[in-house]
A and B are shown apart, each in its own frame.
Chain A
Amino acid sequence: MDVSLRTSLGSKLVLAAPVMTASGTFGYGDDAPAAVDLGALGAVVTKSITRHPREGHPPPRISETPSGLLNAIGLANIGVDEFCRERLPALAHIGSVVIVSIAGSSMDEYAEVLSIIEAHDPDIGGYEINVSCPNVAEGGMEFGVDCAMTESLTRRLRDLTGRFLMVKLSPNVTDIGDIARSAEGGGADALSAINTVVGMDIDPASGRPSLHTVLGGLSGPAIRPIALACVYKVARAVQIPVVGLGGISDADDVIRFLQAGAAAVQIGTANYRDPAIAVQIIAALRERLAGMGLAAPSDLPGVAA
């Protein structure tokens, strides 16, 4: 059976496949080695862009845990000016939809970054808002852990662009469904879930934390069940499409997230094993759906009660 992987995320964005590469795990969009067929990807989400270049945190920034990766990179990135000047023009030609991830330490910073990109009238699919950033004005509380901050930040950016706007939810909240509804209320076109899970590790011999920042974000297959539960909750809380991520490593994982209510997924940490893995997962997904006798991902049954 011919399988069509074409996927709509609302009225503003159509993907060739329901699989994207996740922010911070795939460079700025065209950094993968030449052998990776970027055109096969549903979308590429860039590293989070801030107003100014950022060095990021001192080492150590990463640490391996059972089936997982702890990281505290600190939003190291080239900044929006260099991004627009040096990277954005080429992203129109990679053959895949590009979604630009935006981060900031104040609402003004997010708004400024988005406005600067918009002023270039770029050929991009839209934006993903990284709300897992400390809000300096609120004593460093992350935007994404508070309903009011999430809604007002989303609305502020909504007013600045007609493009596809997706808010990336943090799992480190009391009720991710509440935050999801706030982002939807602020005008988001879609939600992605989840960002990394707060984690920590210690070297028992020295008593030292494995990361310079002590706390970090856990990713990889270790968090897949957490992510799946979050996607399930979010999909039941909102009407807009949900993009699932968290430890997805193969086509079966993609199917799990689609069954939990996601319209599409992102591949993150697995890219570190192989920058071509998202392309391979898309091919495997097509085969799996054909094997199940399904014509499209949307034909997958939901969660069996």
Chain B
Amino acid sequence: MTAGSASMAAVAGNRADLSAARPLFFREQAQVLSNATLAAGLHELRLESPRIASAAAPGQFVNVLVAEGWDPLLRRPMSIAGTGPGVITLIYKIIGRGTAAMSTWQPGDRADLLGPLGRGWEVPADGFPVLLGGGVGIAPILYLRQHLAAAGRTHHLIMGARTIGEHFLGHEPEAGITLTSDDGSVGIGGTILDGLAHFRESLNPSGGPLSLFGCGPPAMLAGLQRLATREDVPCQLALEQTMACGFGFCQGCSVAMRPRPEPAAHSYRSRYKLACIDGPVFRAGELL
């Protein structure tokens, strides 16, 4: 598949309800290449999944089947953390039965995937990209970073965790990587928002325009959203939401939007959008 048709496939997968084209995503039996601990609490799963890898765009996700039987019933949506030739990478944290099952997968095992799904990041031409990933929310941020690096676009990555053991990159602000830790054991002590404040003071003192991209726990996203609104900084956030299907059928992954000044008496997907087909990436300003 050429790069051109790959991006078309990604776009078609995100069509609005009214488009005439039927969506393009794949069910693919991927082969596990490696499944290793990346840092404390974080695991990296590399999968040979050529169709999904060639069609995926940063910010999109796959829906992973975690059980052969019907319990657990639902697939688990996982942001793509990066792609290579025919390969996708996922980063996950063991939080329940699904991710616990994934952690037992061995190289050579098969993983049943649906993807690529969702609407990913939009990278505006202007504004210096600052990428903010908290905890396991680093996954879609790393994929965006890969994309920017490949395009030769300078950017800065700020990654937050509770402590040094949860980090897998080095704190190298001059090389574009700032780490934060709640306990101060590495990088900037404090939250990812403290890391952002530090970046702006020390590395962007001229106050040039920024473009923020964030994914992480709810408190981090809320803080970023407040900052972006207060200072009118362009900001996109990738949300995590429980999904049943991941492609718009179940209407389950609703996300509350900021009400419009004059809402229509009757509407659909205006007050509540769907994380799977309208997102998972949203502009901070449109979220409630």
Q: Which residues of A contact B (CB under 8 A)?
A: 24-28, 30-35, 47, 52-64, 66-69, 71, 73, 76-79, 82, 86-87, 90, 220-221, 249, 269, 271-276
- Are A71 and B252 in contact (CB-based, < 8 A)? yes
Query: Is the pair A55, B268 in contact by a Cβ cutoff of 8 Å?
Result: yes
Measured CA separation A93–B70 after assembly (Å): 33
Does B127 belong to the interface (CB within 8 Å)?
no
Q: State the Cβ distance, B257 to closest chain A Cβ, in Å.
A: 10
B250 touches which one: A30, A71, A87 (CB < 8 A)? A71
Q: Say yes or no: B242 contacts A63, CB within 8 Å.
A: yes
User: What A residues does B267 contact at CB under 8 A?
Assistant: 53, 55
Residues of B181-214 contacting chain A, CB below 8 A: none
Known: A33-B24, A273-B73. 12 other contacts (CB 8 A): A47-B251, A55-B268, A59-B255, A61-B251, A62-B243, A71-B252, A73-B250, A76-B251, A78-B268, A79-B266, A249-B70, A271-B249
Q: Which of the candidate stretches B41-49, B145-153, B224-232, B269-277 sits at the interface with the other chain?
A: B269-277
Give the nearest-CB partner of A221 in chain B: B70
Q: Is the CB of A69 within 8 A of B27?
A: no
From residue B62, how far is it (CB to closest CB) to chain A in Å?
13
Contact A32 B251, beta carbon cutoff 8 Å:
no
> Residues of B with Cβ closer than 8 Å to A?
17-18, 20, 22-27, 65, 70-75, 114, 241-245, 247-256, 265-272
Question: In the complex, A197→B58 CA distance in Å?
Answer: 39
- Min distance, Cβ B151 to any Cβ of chain A, angstroms: 29
Bound complex: CA of A96 vs CA of B233, how far in Å? 49
Question: Is the CB–CB distance between B73 and A67 below 8 Å?
Answer: yes
Give Cα A26 to B249, complex, Å: 5
Q: Report chain A residues within 8 Å CB of B26.
A: 33, 35
Question: Which residues in A have their C-beta under 8 angstroms from that of B23?
Answer: 31-34
Q: Kindly list the 7 A-B residue pairs having the minimum CB-CB distance in the complex, ordered from nearest.
A: A62-B252, A52-B266, A53-B268, A272-B245, A67-B71, A272-B244, A55-B271
Task: Select one of B24, B71, B249 contacting A272, CB under 8 A.
Answer: B249
23 sampled A-B residue pairs with Cβ under 8 A? A31-B23, A33-B26, A54-B266, A54-B268, A55-B272, A56-B251, A56-B254, A56-B272, A58-B256, A60-B242, A61-B251, A62-B250, A62-B253, A71-B252, A73-B252, A76-B269, A76-B272, A77-B268, A82-B268, A90-B20, A249-B70, A272-B244, A272-B250
- Name B21's closest neighbour in chain A (CB-CB): A34
A218 to chain B, nearest CB (A): 11
Whole-angstrom distance between the alpha carbons of A37 and B94 in the complex?
A: 36
Q: Are B250 and A58 in contact (CB under 8 A)?
A: no
CB nearest neighbor in B for A78: B268
Q: Hey, which chain A residues are within 8 Å of B272, CB to CB?
A: 55-56, 58-59, 76
Docked complex Cα distance between A178 and B254 (Å): 37
CA distance A124 to B265 in the complex (A): 30
Question: Given A25-B250, A79-B266, A276-B27, is A69 in contact with B73 using a C-beta cutoff of 8 Å?
Answer: yes
Chain B residues contacting A273 (CB-CB under 8 Å) are 65, 73-75
Question: Which chain B residues lie closer than 8 Å to A55 at the CB level?
Answer: 267-272
* Nearest-CB residue, chain A, relative to B243: A62
State which of A33, A57, A69, A73 has its C-beta within 8 Å of the C-beta of B25. A33
Note all chain B residues with C-beta closer than 8 A to A76: 251, 254, 268-269, 272
**Do A30 and B22 form a contact, CB below 8 Å, given A76-B272, A79-B266, A272-B74?**
yes
**Is A62 a contact of B242 with CB atoms below 8 Å?**
yes
Contact of B248 with A31 in the complex, beta carbons under 8 Å: yes
Inter-subunit contact B251/A64 (CB<8 Å): no
Among B74, B251, B271, the one with the most A-chain Cβ atoms within 10 Å of its Cβ is B251
Residue of B whose beta carbon sits closest to that of A64? B74
- A67 cross-chain contacts in B, Cβ below 8 A: 70-71, 73
Report chain B residues within 8 Å CB of A69.
73-74, 244
Q: Are A25 and B242 in contact (CB under 8 A)?
A: no
Nearest A residue to B20, CB-CB:
A90
In the complex, residue of chain A having the shortest beta-carbon distance to the beta carbon of B277: A31
Q: Is the CB of A64 within 8 A of B22?
A: no
With contact pairs A57-B254, A58-B254, A76-B268 given, residues A25 and B73 touching in the complex (Cβ less than 8 Å): no
